[in-house]
A and B are shown apart, each in its own frame.
Chain A
Amino acid sequence: MNVADKKRLLREMLFARRFEERCYEAYVERKIGGFLHLYSGEEACAHGVLEAARPGHDYVITGYRDHIHAIKCGADPKKVMAELYGKETGSSKGRGGSMHIFDVEHRFMGGYALVGGPFPLAAGMAKAIKMKGGDEIAICFLGDAANNQGTFHESLNMAKVWNLPVLYVCENNLYGIGTRIDRSTAVIDQYKRVSGYDIPSAQTDGQDIEAVYKAARKAVDHVRGGKGPYFLELMTYRYRGHSMSDSNAYRSRDEEREWSGRDPIIILRDRLIEAGEITKQDYKALDTEVLDEIEDEVIAFAEASPEPRVDELEKYTFAENDPWVYGGGR
Chain B
Amino acid sequence: MAEIMYWEAIRRAHDEEMARDPMVICMGEDIGVAGGTYKATQGLYDKYGPERVIDTPISENGYTGLGIGASFLGVRPIIEIMSVNFAWLATDQFFNSAAKVRYMSGGQLTAPVVVRSAGGTAHQLGAQHSARMEKVFMGIAGLRVVTPSNPRQAYGLLKSAVRCNDPVYINEHELMYNMKGEVPDEEYFHPLEGSEVAREGRDVTLFGYNVSVHWCLQAAETLSRQFGIEAEVVDLFALSPLDRAGITASVRKTHRAVIVEEAEAPVGVGAEVMAIINEECFFELDAAPRRVSAVNVPIPYNHKLEKAAIPNAGDVVTAVRKMLGK
Report which A residues bind B (CB closer than 8 A): 59, 61, 90-97, 100, 102-105, 109-110, 112, 114, 117, 119-132, 138, 150-151, 154-155, 157-158, 161-162, 315-319, 322, 324-329
Contact = CB atoms under 8 A, between A and B. Distances in A.
Nearest to A127: B70
B193 A100 contact: no
Contacts of B65: 117, 119-121, 123-124, 151, 155
A217 to B, nearest CB: 25
A325 B162 CA distance: 11
Contacts of B97: 112, 114, 117, 121
Top 4 closest pairs, chain A to chain B, by CB:
A124-B69, A154-B62, A120-B65, A93-B106
Contact of A100 (B52, B104, B107, B189): B104
A160 to B, nearest CB: 11
Contacts of B62: 119-120, 123, 150-151, 154-155, 157-158
A59 B59 contact: no
A126 B73 CA distance: 9
B67 A158 contact: no
B103 A95 contact: yes
B136 interface: no
B295 interface: no
A128 B166 contact: no
10 contacts: A120-B66, A120-B93, A124-B66, A154-B59, A154-B61, A154-B62, A155-B66, A157-B57, A157-B59, A319-B166
B105 to A, nearest CB: 4
Nearest to B57: A157
A128 B63 contact: no
Contacts, number: 183
Interface string B47-82: 000011010110101111111111111110000000
Nearest to B75: A128
Nearest to A138: B69
B190 A125 contact: no
B61 A327 contact: no
A90 to B, nearest CB: 7
Contacts of A103: 108
Given A131-B51, A322-B165, 4 more contacts: A151-B93, A154-B63, A327-B156, A328-B163
Contacts of B109: 102, 104, 109-110
A120 B142 contact: no
A158 B63 contact: yes
B106 A96 contact: yes
A204 B279 CA distance: 61
B235 to A, nearest CB: 15
A102 B108 CA distance: 8
A318 B189 contact: no
B318 interface: no
B57 A158 contact: yes
B272 to A, nearest CB: 18
Contact of B192 (A93, A132, A161, A325): A325
A123 B107 contact: no
Given A93-B106, A104-B109, A110-B101, A127 B66 contact: yes
A76 to B, nearest CB: 14
Contact of B106 (A95, A150, A157, A162): A95
A130 B52 CA distance: 11
A161 B161 CA distance: 29
Contacts of B315: none
B197 interface: no
Contacts of B75: 124, 127-128, 131
Contacts of A154: 57, 59, 61-63
Contact of B105 (A104, A119, A127, A130): A104
A91 B106 CA distance: 8
Contacts of B221: none
B57 A59 contact: no
B165 A125 contact: no
B182 interface: no
B103 A120 contact: no
Contacts of B161: 324
Contact of A316 (B61, B107, B193): B107
A326 B59 contact: no
B296 interface: no
Contacts of A96: 104-106
